[in-house]
Structure 1
Amino acid sequence: MMYAISTKYMLFLEKLKSIIQNKDTLTLWMNNLLVLYAFFLPIAQSIKAKIFIAILILFFIRGDVKYYLKEAWKNQVVRAFVYLFVIYVLGLLWSENIKEGLRWVKSIKYGLYLIVFYSFVDGRYIKRVLAAFISGMLLSEIISYGMILHILPWKFSLLGVTIYEAPTPVDPSPFLNHIHYGVALSLVVILLAQQIYLSHKPLIVKIFMSIFIFTASANIFVTGGRTGYVTFILLLLILAIFYLRKWAIIGLTFVILVVGIALETSPILQQKVQQTTLSAKQLLSKDPNFNTSMGIRAGMYYYGMKAIGNNLVFGVGTGDSMDVIRDTAPKEWEGRKQPHEHNQYFSTFMKLGFVGLLVFLNIFYQIFRYKQEDKELRFIMVFTTLTVAFGILTTQFNLRFFMPLWVVMLSITLIQKNRQTILRNLNDKQIMLQIIGAGMFFFILYIFLKGSH
C-alpha cells in the first residue's frame, strides 16, 4: 500500500513538474486567473488579492521576465502608470508623514499590475474577462434586490465569515462602497448597451441584456451614492450624443425617463437631492457651511488651497496633504476627521503639485490618443476611462476598486483580438471547468483563512 501511495506521489510530482516547465500551460492559467480576478473584482477584495499573488507567481515561474517587461514598457499607457507610481514614491522624499505616504503609494501600486496583465492576455480571453466582470456585477445586483425585497438578509455569514453586508437597510450595496457600486453599475449599463447596439447576438440574449440594463439602472438610484447618479447620466449623455447618433433622441429620452421615474419612486434619491440642494444653498450663503456632506468636500478645496502655499509645483509630499489641511482648517470643521480629500485629482495636486497632477493626467492623455483600430475595444477603453474619471471626482484610489477595474479593462483593450499568447487551441468547456474549479478553490481558501482568524 505504501508503494502505491509513493507511486501516486511521484506521478503527481512529475505532472506538476511538466506543468511548471510548460510555458504555454502557465500562460493559459494566468489568463484563467485573470477571468477570476475580473469576476471577484466587484465582490471580494481579499480573494482578488490572492488571485493576483497566484498570477504573479506564475508570471515569474514562466520565466523570460526581462523580455516581457521590455515588451510592456514599449506601451505608452503602461509607461504612464509607471510614471505615476514613481512620482508618488519620489513624493516621500519631501514628506514628514512617511507612514501615511506609504499607504498612498500602496494604493497607486495597482497601476503596475498592468505590466503583468499586458504580458500574457490572449485575445481569445477578452470576452471571457468582460463577461466575468459583468457576471460579478449581476450577482451583486441580484443580492441587492434580494435585500430590498426582504428575500435575502442584510448580512450573510458562512462558517463565521461575513460574505456580504449592506452598510444600512436603505443602502443595499452588498460588496462595494455605495460610491463604487453605483459607478460600476453605470459602466455595466454602457457595456451592455454597446453589446445590444453593435453585436450580432441572438434576440433572446439581447432581451436578457435589456432587462439587465433596466434593473441595473434602477439599482443605481436605490443606493446612496450620488457619484453613481452623476456618472450614469454623464455616460449615457456621451453615449447618446457621440455614439448612437441617429438613435440619440431615443438615448436621451431613456436618460430622462429613468431619472424621472427614479425621482418619483426612490426615497433615498429624493433624500440625497434634498441634502444636496440644502448643502448648496448653505455653501452659497454669506457664511458658508463647510460641515455638510457637500460642504466638507468644498472645505477640502478651500482649506487645501490655503494650505498648499508655496508648494504649488511639487506639492506638500505624498503623505502630508491631509495633515497640512488639518493644520490650516479651524478645529470645529468636521472635515478634519476625514481620511482623505474625496477627490483623486485634488489629492494628487495637494501631494505632488502641478507636476504630479500632469503626470496623473498624462494617463488619460495616453489612453485617449492610443491607436486601437478595433471599434469595440476602443469603446470599452474610452468608457471605462470616463467611468473612472467621473468616479474619482468624489473618491480616491485608496479603496482598491477603481484602479484595479481600470487596469483590468485596459489589459484587454490595449491588445488586438487576434493576439495569441497561448499557442494551443482552446476548449471552451474545459476552460470553463478550470475557471470554476479555481474559483471554488480560492473561495474555500478565503473562508478557511478568515475562519482561522
Structure 2
Amino acid sequence: MIKNIKIDNILNYMIVMYAFLIPLSRAGIAIFSTSLLLVWFFSNDFKLKIKYLIDNKITIYLIIFFILSFISIAWSDDISGGLYYFRKYLYIIPLFIIASTLQSRYIPYIISAFLSGMFVSEMFSYGIFFEIFQYKNILPSNPTPFMHHIPYSMFLAFTSLLILNRIFFAKRINIKIVLSFYFLTVLINLFINSGRTGQVAFILTLFIIFFLNIKNRVIALFSVTIFIITILYISYNSSPIFKSRVDTALVESKKILKDDYCTSWGRRAGGWIVAKDIFIDNPIIGTGLSYDMVYLKRYIDKNPNIFNNYKQNSQCVRTLYHYHNYYIQTAVRLGLVGFIIFILIFYYIIKLDIKDREIKNILIIFISVFMVSNLFDNLFHSQFGESLFALFIGLFMAQNRIEKGLDNK
C-alpha cells in the first residue's frame, strides 16, 4: 500500500513537471507522455481508474473519435500518410492519466507550473525580440522560441486570460499587482508576435471573462468594449508586426472578394471552398484520414470550373498542407459522423459539473480559446495543442472526479 501511494505521488509530481515543460520542449512532452503512461500502469487502484474512464462520456467519445479516425484510413487514398497522421493523436494519452490520477492538492501546483513554463518561454521571446541574445535561427520579427507562431499565440491568449481570471479572484492587493504585471507582459507578447489566431481567440474570450466576473451585464459590456478598443488601438499604433498583419488581412480579404486566392488567407478560403464540395460528395464518413492533401489536389485537377481564374488559383490552393480549420478538416475526412462525435467531446467537457468557481471559469476560458483557435488552424492535431488540451481537460475531469468523491467508491 505504501509503495502504491508513493507511485501515485510520483505520478502527480510528474504531471506538475509535464505542465511546466509543455510550453518549452517537444522532447520533454514526448518523454513525459511516455513516462506517465508507463508509471500509470503500476499505480494503485488501476482497475478503479479504468472503470472511471470507461464510465466517463468525454473518454468514451474521445476513444470513439480516435477509433473512427484509425478505421477511416482503410478508405483513405493515402494509407501510409493516414497512419503517419494518426500517430500524433498519441499526445492525448496523458489526459486519461491526469483525469484518473490527479489529486486535489496538486491542482494549484499544476496551474502554477504551467504559468512558470510560460514565463520562461516569455523571457526567451523578449530576449529574442529585443536582440539581447540569439536563439537558434529565430528572428526578432517573430520571436516564438519553442513552437510555431500559431500555437504559441493560442498559448499566450489562454495564459493571459487565465491570469486575468486570477486577478478577479485574488483577494490581496499585492497579488493583484504581481498578476497584473504578468498579464501585461503576456498581453504585449501576444501582440508583438505574428499569430493572429491567438489574438482573435483572446478578443472573443475577453467578453466571456468580463461577463463571468462582473454581475452587472451593462457594466461588463461597457468595460470589455473599452478594454478591447484600447488594446487594439495601442497595439496597432505601437506594434509594427500587428499593424502589418492587420493591414495584410484587410488587403487579402479584398482580394478574396475579387476571386483571388493567392494569399495566405486566400489559400485557406480556397481550400474551404474545395472542402465544401468534397464534403458534399462524401457526407457520411468522409474521405478518410491522410497526411498530405492528396484528395484536395485530385479534386481540383478533376474540377477545372471550381475557381474563376482556375490556373492561378488552383496552383495556389494546391500548396495547402492542411485546411487551417480543424472542424472543416474533420468534416471532410470523417464526414458528418466524425464531426458530430468531435462536437460531442466538447459538449460533455462544457457540461462537466465543477463547483469550484475559479476552476469552472478556467474551463470555460480554455474551451473558448481552444475552439476559436481551431477555426483557424488544426491545433487539435499538433503536439503542443494536444498536450495543452490533455493537461487542462485532464485537470477539469480530475476536479469533477474529486468533487464527486469517485475515488472513495
Same fold by TM (over 0.5)? yes
CA displacement at 1:38 relative to structure 2 = 0.8
Q: 2:23 aligns with which of 42, 46, 53?
A: 42
Point out the structure with max Rg over C-alpha.
1
Pairing 1:110-149 to 2, within 5 Å after superposition: 110-149=91-130
SS in 2 for 1:39: helix
| Larger CA deviation: 222-231 vs 410-419 | 410-419
The whole-number CA distance in structure 1 between the counterparts of 2:325 and 2:269 is 11
Pairing 1:48-447 to 2, within 5 Å after superposition: 48-62=29-43, 64-155=45-136, 166=138, 168-200=139-171, 202-246=172-216, 248=220, 249-285=222-258, 288-319=259-290, 322-329=293-300, 332-396=314-378, 397-416=380-399
The whole-number CA distance in structure 2 between the counterparts of 1:254 and 1:263 is 14
CA contact (8 A) 2:77 2:294 kept: no
CA displacement at 1:232 relative to structure 2 = 1.2
The whole-number CA distance in structure 1 between the counterparts of 2:33 and 2:91 is 10
Instruction: Look up the equivalent residue of 2:317 and give its one-letter code.
Output: G
What TM-score, normalized to structure 2?
0.90
The whole-number CA distance in structure 2 between the counterparts of 1:212 and 1:320 is 39
CA contact (8 A) 2:193 2:241 kept: yes
CA contact (8 A) 1:192 1:209 kept: yes
Instruction: Look up the equivalent residue of 1:302 and give its one-letter code.
Output: I
SS in 2 for 1:133: helix
Q: Deviation per CA, 1:116-153, whole angstroms, max 9, x where unpaired?
A: 22121001111111111111111111211122222222
| Larger CA deviation: 339-348 vs 369-378 | 369-378
CA displacement at 1:86 relative to structure 2 = 1.3
Instruction: Look up the equivalent residue of 1:79 and give its one-letter code.
Output: I
Question: Identical aligned pairs, as a percentage?
Answer: 27
Task: Supply the RMSD in Å over aligned alpha carbons.
Answer: 2.2
CA displacement at 1:218 relative to structure 2 = 1.2
The whole-number CA distance in structure 2 between the counterparts of 1:35 and 1:323 is 40
The whole-number CA distance in structure 1 between the counterparts of 2:181 and 2:227 is 14
CA contact (8 A) 2:58 2:349 kept: yes
CA shift in 2, pair 1:320/1:96, >3 Å: farther
CA displacement at 1:185 relative to structure 2 = 1.0
The whole-number CA distance in structure 2 between the counterparts of 1:289 and 1:204 is 53
CA shift in 2, pair 1:253/1:309, >3 Å: closer
Q: Match of 2:307?
A: none
The whole-number CA distance in structure 1 between the counterparts of 2:109 and 2:393 is 14
CA displacement at 1:407 relative to structure 2 = 1.7
CA contact (8 A) 1:185 1:220 kept: yes
CA displacement at 1:48 relative to structure 2 = 1.5
CA displacement at 1:78 relative to structure 2 = 2.0
CA displacement at 1:26 relative to structure 2 = 0.6
The whole-number CA distance in structure 2 between the counterparts of 1:364 and 1:216 is 27
| Larger CA deviation: 218-227 vs 399-408 | 399-408
CA contact (8 A) 1:80 1:366 kept: no
Runs of 4 or more, structure 1, over 6 Å off, are 419-423
What TM-score, normalized to structure 1?
0.81
CA displacement at 1:64 relative to structure 2 = 4.8
Instruction: Look up the equivalent residue of 1:209 and give its one-letter code.
Output: L
Q: Deviation per CA, 1:28-73, whole angstroms, max 9, x where unpaired?
A: 0111011111111111011111012221111112365433211122
CA contact (8 A) 1:95 1:318 kept: yes
Instruction: Look up the equivalent residue of 1:123 and give its one-letter code.
Output: S
Instruction: For structure 1, list consecutive stretches of 5 or more residues without a partner in the other structure.
Output: 1-17, 156-164, 424-453
The whole-number CA distance in structure 2 between the counterparts of 1:139 and 1:251 is 29
The whole-number CA distance in structure 2 between the counterparts of 1:101 and 1:243 is 44
Instruction: Look up the equivalent residue of 2:372 and give its one-letter code.
Output: F
Instruction: Look up the equivalent residue of 2:82 and give its one-letter code.
Output: G
CA displacement at 1:412 relative to structure 2 = 1.6
CA shift in 2, pair 1:153/1:74, >3 Å: same
CA displacement at 1:242 relative to structure 2 = 4.2
